[in-house]
Amino acid sequence: MGIRLVVGLGNPGKEYERTRHNAGFWLVERYATQNGVVLRKDQKFKALVGRHEASGTWLLLPQTFMNLSGQPVQMLAGFFKIKPEEILVVHDELDFPPGVARLKQGGGIAGHNGLKDISQRLATHDYWRLRLGVGKPPPGREGADYVLERPPAEEKAAIDAAIDKSIELLPQLLAGDMQGAMNKLHTDDKPPAKKEPEKKEPPKKEPEKKAEAVKEPAKKEGLLSGLFGRKK
């Protein structure tokens, strides 16, 4: 059983489009652009809606604001008779750093209001979730304020990289190979951390040059002492 509905979570409007809370929008919009899917306003579903013709999967961006995300999801899923386990919700995740993406089915919603409304409307947590890490807020900052801010350029680049990785695996998800996609996604975001030790190797060559330089003056001293000895 594959994914028949991909939902990106976020808030509508230019003031929110670059904020961390719109990470779900970013992924679905990019996937739609890359695959020639046009997302159009649908008043009936209160969302931007498009269809990926090759797979038959629906793409949905709720336009009801985050706290009421469940209404468009419930209406479209009900109209096309899409089961919760055939739904993938893409959203921002405070528990993971930027650059990390994780796939899971069900589980806790960790205070995410968009997920809370979807779970209430569908009366279950059994839909799939693609969680895009945006990092934890600094001490003393509220998560609700943090997610409504724009990430710095470095963090945005990391989130974009995670989105690109996730999009590469979407064909597997749409086809129903959830475990295969999960295994690849959860291992692909680990290698970058292993690159750091490689940068420390070049400095090891410097001490060898210093050792050679010390030997040279010792030879010169031997020659000078030999010359003085002859003069006597």
CB neighbourhood size of 149 (10 A)? 14
State yes or no: is 112 an active-site residue. Answer: no
The tokens describing 218, both together, are: 């010792």
Reported for 68-71, long-range contacts at CB under 8 A and 24+ positions apart, including other chains, are 68/117, 69/7, 69/9, 69/113, 69/114, 69/115, 69/117, 69/118, 70/114, 70/117, 70/118, 70/119, 70/120, 70/121, 70/122, 71/46, 71/117, 71/121
E strand or H helix at 34: helix 23-34
60/29 Cα distance (integer angstroms) = 10
Cα 55 to chain centroid distance, Å, stands at: 23
Is 3:57 a contact under the CB 8 Å cutoff? yes
Cα 227 to chain centroid distance, Å, stands at: 74
- Kindly name the residue from 21, 52, 91, 112 that is annotated as catalytic: 21
The tokens describing 42, both together, are: 């649908």
Q: Which residues of 192-221 are buried (b: 16+ CB within 10 A; e: fewer)?
A: eeeeeeeeeeeeeeeeeeeeeeeeeeeeee
Hey, which residues are catalytic here? 21
